[in-house]
Amino acid sequence: MHLSAETRLNAILDGTGAGTWEYNLDTGEIIFNERWASMLGYTLEELEPLSFETWERLSHPSDVESAHEALNAYLNREATKFECVVRMLHKDGDWRYIHTRGTLFNNDQTAESRWLMGTHLDVTEEKVSQHQLQQLAESLPGVIYTFTLNKDGSFHFPYMSRKAKDFYGVTAAETQSNPERMFETIHPEDVAKVHETIELSRKTLSEWVCEYRIIKDGQPRWLRGVSQPERNPDGSTTWHGVITDIDDQKRLEFQLEALTITDELTGLYNRRYLLRKLEELADQSARYNHPFSLLSLDIDFFKSVNDSWGHLTGDKVLRTVANLIETRTRKTDIVARTGGEEFIVLMPHTTLGDARQVAESLRIGMETESFLSEDDTPFNVTLSAGVVCWDQSINGVRDLLSTCDQLLYQAKRAGRNQVVVSEIGAE
């Protein structure tokens, strides 16, 4: 069976559910098909006489101007196609979203008439679904997004929910026009981590999970991104995911961690944290041959301070010693209270000679410090110290700590208020 081109075209249009329209730009004549009228609840007869004003009368006033702008852009060849979405009034009183497409049949400016021909398609259900999804996205406590990374390294955000403004200080529209703005908000120390995790996810098509900081209003804030990648036919990769604010959670984590690694009385690190950092430093020293030293300090006759002046005064002495050590050591040094009156200082990139000078400075500083008891009785305390430098001959961290303790005990036995230095690692 052979069908004419017109019959086949009409059958195809019927299958799409689209209405058709033809508009003569020179005479103003307009032609609609029956389907065009029925999608608005009318028959063509009910809408007669048909004119351009028929379309304007049924169209939402807010959309008429944008439709004219789209048409003029097309006719002036500023756009490659005429396309827009216009709300049109249905006979039952509801507004329907109508997707309008059109093309110029004769673009010869010398022709007697120019016909613009196109289709109308009811996309109300699609628009309503989009609106509902948008409302859902706005109700969620995070940013919903789609991110596409092209093979050449360029990228864009096909979708970004409005909460991006709350999180990043960047509007969803800005992410469309300038996607780099999102990455510009990331904390400088976390930029590399974000890019590295994205690249790993791209290569392996594994879930992207990353916790990172952004800078908003001059303040850092923790976010967590989770998304699932998929490879596109053109080789690009697209992630669909959500970004949530975890700043309060992170602050709580840091507070809890601080409690587990900090001495409550002095605010110094505790023995647990010291041992962890000591293991790390020993590994680095073995790998790169970097020196580091250890100071073990103990308050002389501290028991007599508690017995004579009470524990409140003893606590004051401990806090003073802690402050003295912190002010006379570097920020890179690890200062810990490891026992009642015992302190250890871990000094990265420090030779035995330099460590000895620090120990002597602490000893002299403590020697010149004056205290008052609860009844204003003046008294003084002194420090004894052992100093050791890491050496390959030392059999691990426990051996290093034991050696340092032995040196401290030697200082005690030798009369206290002095520093004893290991012969291992001596210059």
Please spell the DSSP secondary structure of 16-47, one letter per residue.
Answer: HT-EEEEEETTT--EEE-HHHHHTTT--HHHH
Supply the pLDDT for residue 8. Answer: 56
In terms of phi and psi (left: phi > 0; alpha: psi -120 to 50; beta: otherwise), the region of 293 is: beta
**CB 159: neighbour CB atoms within 10 A?**
16
Least Cα distance to 59 among 23, 32, 98, 28 occurs for: 98
Supply the pLDDT for residue 172. Answer: 86
CA 296, CA 244: separation in Å to the nearest integer? 45
Least Cα distance to 315 among 269, 261, 373, 363 occurs for: 373
Torsion angles phi and psi, residue 392, rounded to 5: -60, -20
In DSSP terms, 209 is beta-bridged to 226
Q: What angle do CA 33, 38, 43 make, to 5 degrees?
A: 75
Task: State the pTM of this model.
Answer: 0.55
Contact between 386 and 410 (Cβ < 8 Å):
yes
Specify the amino acid at residue 349: H
To 10 degrees, the CA torsion angle through 181, 182, 188, 193? -140
Mean pLDDT in each 10-residue stretch from start to end of the chain (427 residues)? 54 65 88 89 90 91 91 88 91 90 71 80 79 63 90 92 89 89 95 96 96 94 95 94 93 88 94 93 87 95 92 94 96 94 96 95 94 89 94 83 94 95 68
Q: What angle do CA 154, 194, 284 make, to 5 degrees?
A: 130
Taking the CA atoms of 12, 14, 18 and 24 in sequence, report the sign of the dihedral they define.
positive
Least Cα distance to 82 among 112, 104, 115, 56 occurs for: 104
Q: What angle do CA 251, 256, 262 make, to 5 degrees?
A: 115
CA 423, CA 420: separation in Å to the nearest integer? 10
Torsion angles phi and psi, residue 18, rounded to 5: -85, 145
CA 281, CA 297: separation in Å to the nearest integer? 20
Structure tokens at 402: 């034991």
Contact between 394 and 360 (Cβ < 8 Å):
no
Least Cα distance to 145 among 125, 162, 122 occurs for: 162
Max Cα distance, the chain (Å): 119
The enclosing H or E element of 320 equals helix 311-327
Supply the pLDDT for residue 233. Answer: 92
Supply the pLDDT for residue 79. Answer: 84
Supply the pLDDT for residue 129. Answer: 66
Specify the amino acid at residue 395: N
Name, in order, each residue with C-beta under 8 angstroms of 182's C-beta and a sequence gap of 6 or more.
Answer: 157, 164, 168, 170, 175
Question: Under DSSP, is residue 59 helix (H, G, I), strand (E, B) or coil?
Answer: strand
Q: Sketch out the chain's domains with CATH numbers.
A: 5-124 (3.30.450.20), 140-251 (3.30.450.20), 262-421 (3.30.70.270)
Instruction: Name residue, tokens 């098509």.
Output: 205
Instruction: Name residue, tokens 């706005």.
Output: 138
